[in-house]
Each structure stands twice: as structure tokens, then as C-alpha cells.
Amino acid sequence: MVEIGVGSVGIVVIVSCFLGAVVTVQTAYQLTTPLISKSIIGSIAANSIILELAPTVTVLILAGKIGSKIASELGTMRISEQIDALEIMGVHSSAYLVLPKILASTLMIPLLVIISAFLSIYSGMWVGEFTGAVSKEDFMTGAIQYWIPFMANFALIKATTFGFIISSVSSYYGYYTEGGALEVGRSATRAVVVCCVLILLFDYILAQLLL
Amino acid sequence: MIEVKDLNKSFGAKQILKGISATFEAGKCNLIIGASGSGKTVLMKSIVGLIPVNSGHIVYNNDTDFINIDDAGRKELRKQIGMLFQGSALFDSMSVEKNVIFPLNMFTNLTYKEKMNRVNECLERVNLKDVNKLLPNELSGGMKKRVGIARAIVMNPKYLFCDEPNSGLDPQTSIVIDKLIKDITDEYKITTIVNTHDMNSVMEIGDYVLFLYKGEKYWEGHRKEIMNATNQQLNDFIFAGKFFREIKEQNTKRLSDEKNK
């Protein structure tokens, strides 16, 4: 949990701050007409962040970090016979090694997504203020005015699903690695690619089913 | 005692083990020897159940067929098995102490003090001191092997498997490891099976020697009989090195001199 959760806070903070800033600036760039209230910028930015950017874009980046870590860790354990050593001792290696990773990832990724959403919104709000695109008050007015509570639930459902996908897919590729160091690298790459594709696929499926 | 009966194993179209039958005697140091690619590791991993076989039987202690055993029985039997892997297979993220204590944590209800006593006892038995807190990457090859042996014997196993215990070690350290395996086998009355292609090991510790050639059993017997064996493949294997060739020539010369007298 510490490795997957706390270890990923740094990258989440960096990505989220820039995501929020870019969304605000780009939304403001497109809404140039004086007929539309400036608070709409806050609404669009906050909704985009909560619905899509925090749960999906952040998780895609986490898939690269956590997915490759899990796959390469298990792959190395496999080729260095550490998994065989566990089996010989009578330990159910997949339950011992994989289950905690799935639990940690499924619990910690939603927390990281919550952090990401807050940071993105706040960075968007401050960047709007500094650049003069939208004031803090207008930004927050828009964000609150068009707030639908189900969006938070939806984001958490997505984050939990994606957390499970990242840990289970990368564990599978790592656990069944065969060969040497080259194959460990291949397993890690494959795990990340498959995770990303599945995340995007389930992003669509969940949106279609739940919205 | 471990009995292997008509063991066959294929990977795709390639047959690795061809009807191997052997009896590994209890309380003895049993050696599986053969050139690289002869099927030694596959045989050993099949015996411990890490590689499923195509056909045959592996009978532990005259009553348990490892092939037809259920999961619970397999798990129980594995608690009686200790194994030293070729690359030691120590858990990278754990210190020496944690590696050795691991099986005790998983399968015993001993207190921490009792477990630590057992860990220290095993580490002392393999002549390792003041390394408890070191990580595997801070150890030399020989030390890793010794920690691997300590971990393998910590549960007081009935069976000890060693896959190429001397690979990557210098000759002196190899002798130390061989002696350790032999002493532990005698001391704890363990049935030990060692995979090796090191002839020094064969001559030092081999109570029973099984020679594999291209997945087939070509010869079996005691180490004392091995120098006079007539099997061509075995002779090619043993006398590949100059040292053993010279011993063979000296033996032949001595026998012929004695005959002439």
C-alpha cells in the first residue's frame, strides 16, 4: 500500500497540477464571447477533471508506473526462482504475492484519484486567477453551480475498476514471465500497454452504462 | 526414501525425460549428474512438483505418490522439503534473517524468540555470523548459497534438494558447500538429492549417483564404482577433464603393473 499509494503521490501531484492548469487555460481560450459567463470556465474545467481527467488520465500515468513495477517485480521473482522457492515451502505463491497488490491498488488508486481531482481543480482555479482568464470566485461559482454529486461516485467507480485492472493485468504478465531479463522487460511493456487499452475500453463501457 | 518410476516429461515435441526410474535412498547424499541439457534440473523440479510430468510416479517414503496427491497433501509434503536453488533464490527485499525466518513465520506458531533462536542456530550451522541484517545483494555467491541452505533446513525437512549448489563458486567455496551438504545430510538424516556436473562433488559426497544422458538414465551406482564404469557416455562425461583422465590413466597403469607382477 505504501509503495503503490504513497510512492505514487509525487507523480500524481505533478500531473494533476499541470492537468488542471492546462484545462482552465484551454477552456478560457475557447470561450471568448462575452455572452457566456466566465463561471462556465470553472464548470467545464471542474466537470472535465472529475469525470475524465482525474480518474482516467491520472490512472493511465499510474498504469505506467505501478503496472510496470508490479510486472517487473513479479517477473524478476519468477526468473530468479523466488516464486518456485515460495511454492516449495508450501506457500500459495499467487495468493501471497498477487492478492495484496490487487487489494492495495484497488484501495489506493481511488484515493490518488481524489487527491488528483482536488489538486487539478485548485491548480486550475489559481492559474485562472494568475492569467486573468477567470477569477477564483467565478471559477468556484461555476464549479459548484453545475456540480452533480453522482460525478464523484462515477469517478470513484472508474478509479476502483482501473485500480483492479492495473494490478491484476500486470500481475498476470509478471507472474507468467518465462525466460530471462529480456522477457521481464517485455512483460512489463506488455502489461502497461494492455492496461492502457483496457482502461480506455472500460472508460467507455462505464460511461455508456452509468451516465 | 524417494522412488521415481518411469518418469516422462516433454516440452512440446521435445521429450526431456525418457522413462527415468531411480531410488534415492533415505539419509544419503544422492547425486544426479549429467551434461548441461541432460534433464537434471527438469528431473529435480519434477520430483518436487514444480514441473508437472506427462507420466510416471514419484513416491515419497513408500506411501505418498506425489503425482496423484491432492492440494492439501501436496502442501503438507512440501513442508517436509527444503530446496537450495541454482541462483539461491533468496527474497531480494528481505534481509538474511527475514529470509531464513520466513518459513517459520508462515507455518509455525513459535514465539518470535523461539523463531530467532532457530534462525541463529541454522545460520551458525552454515558458518554464517553477523550477517542477519544484510540484504542478499550484499552477500557473496558462497554466502548466498549458505543462506539458501539455512533457509532450506530451518523447518527440519526430511528431504533436501540442491540444484547445482556449486555453480558460479570457486573451487574452495565449492568444497565448503559440498562438505556442508554432506554434514547436514548425515547430521539430520535427511534424504538429499543434489544436481551437479561437478566431478569433485561427485567424488566428495555422492553416496548414490544417477547419470543422465539426453534425458535417459545411463548409469547408477556408488561414487566408488564410477571410476571403473564401462558406460561410454559416463566415461566421456567423467574424463572430459585432464585431471580425471590422468587419474584414470594412472589407475589403468597401476592395475596393469600389478597384473604383470
Write out chain B residues lying below 8 Å of A88, CB-based: 48, 50, 78, 81-83, 161
At CB < 8 Å, which residues of chain B contact A? 45, 48-50, 75-76, 78-79, 81-83, 85-87, 89-92, 102-103, 106-107, 155, 161
ipTM score for this prediction: 0.84
Long-range CB contacts for residues B136-144, cutoff 8 Å, separation at least 24: B136/B88, B136/B90, B136/B91, B136/B92, B136/B94, B136/B96, B136/B99, B137/B92, B139/B96, B141/B168, B141/B169, B141/B173, B142/B169, B142/B170, B142/B173, B142/B176, B142/B177, B144/B88, B144/B90
CA distance B90 to chain A (A): 7
pLDDT at residue B248, rounded to an integer: 67
Give the whole-angstrom CA distance, residue B173 versus residue B168: 10
**Are residues A90 and B83, on separate chains, in Cβ contact within 8 Å?**
no
Domain ranges of chain B: 2-80+160-172+185-260, 92-156
Q: What is the mean pLDDT of residues B49-60?
A: 90
Q: Model-level pTM?
A: 0.84
Three-state SS letters, chain A: CCCCCHHHHHHHHHHHHHHHHHHHHHHHHHCCCCCCCCHHHHHHHHHHHHHHHHHHHHHHHHHHHHHHHHHHHHHHHHHCCHHHHHHHHCCCHHHHHHHHHHHHHHHHHHHHHHHHHHHHHHHHHHHHHHHCCCCHHHHHHHHHHCCCHHHHHHHHHHHHHHHHHHHHHHHHHHHCCCCCHHHHHHHHHHHHHHHHHHHHHHHHHHHHHHC
pLDDT at residue B245, rounded to an integer: 66
Write out chain B residues lying below 8 Å of A79, CB-based: none
pLDDT at residue A81, rounded to an integer: 92
B241 pLDDT more than 70: no
Q: Specify if A1 maps to a domain.
A: no
**Are residues B89 and A90, on separate chains, in Cβ contact within 8 Å?**
no
pLDDT at residue B244, rounded to an integer: 66
B258 pLDDT more than 70: yes
State the average pLDDT for chain B: 87
**All 3 cell numbers of residue A157?**
467507480
pLDDT at residue B116, rounded to an integer: 94
pLDDT at residue B95, rounded to an integer: 95
Containing domain of residue A121, as a range? 6-210
Pairing mode, strands B14-24 and B216-221: unpaired
Identify which of B75, B90, B91 has the shortest CB distance to residue A90.
Answer: B75
Report the b/e string of A46-84 with b at 16+ CB within 10 A.
Answer: bbbbbbbbbbbbbbbbbbbbbbbbbbbbbbbbbbbbbbb
Of the pLDDT bands very low, low, confident and very high (cuts 50, 70, 90), residue B242 is low
User: How many A-B residue pairs are in contact by the CB < 8 A criterion?
Assistant: 46
Phi and psi, residue B193, nearest 5° = -125, 125
At CB < 8 Å, which residues of chain A contact B? 76-77, 80-82, 84-85, 87-91
B153 pLDDT more than 80: yes
Write out chain B residues lying below 8 Å of A82, CB-based: 89-92
Write out chain A residues lying below 8 Å of B85, CB-based: 81, 84-85
- Least Cα distance to B42 among B78, B1, B86, B81 occurs for B86
Of the pLDDT bands very low, low, confident and very high (cuts 50, 70, 90), residue B219 is confident
Low-confidence ranges of chain A (pLDDT < 50): none
Its CATH architecture, for the domain B2-80+160-172+185-260, is: 3-Layer(aba) Sandwich (3.40)
pLDDT tens-digit series, residues B134-147: 999 999 988 999 99
**Are residues B89 and A80, on separate chains, in Cβ contact within 8 Å?**
yes
Number of domains in chain A: 1
Q: What is the mean pLDDT of residues B72-89?
A: 88
Of how many residues is chain A composed?
211
Write out chain A residues lying below 8 Å of B103, CB-based: 89
pLDDT at residue B226, rounded to an integer: 80
- Least Cα distance to A165 among A113, A123, A211, A106 occurs for A106
Write out chain B residues lying below 8 Å of A89, CB-based: 78-79, 102-103, 106-107, 155
User: Is the Cα torsion angle A142, A143, A149, A151 positive or negative in sign?
Assistant: positive
B252 pLDDT more than 80: no
Q: What is the mean pLDDT of residues B108-131?
A: 91
**Are residues A87 and B50, on separate chains, in Cβ contact within 8 Å?**
yes
B253 pLDDT more than 70: yes
**Are residues B92 and A81, on separate chains, in Cβ contact within 8 Å?**
no
Question: Above pLDDT 90, what percent of chain B?
Answer: 39
B11 pLDDT more than 80: yes
Pairing mode, strands B55-60 and B64-65: antiparallel
Write out chain B residues lying below 8 Å of A97, CB-based: none
**Are residues B89 and A76, on separate chains, in Cβ contact within 8 Å?**
no
Of how many residues is chain B composed?
261
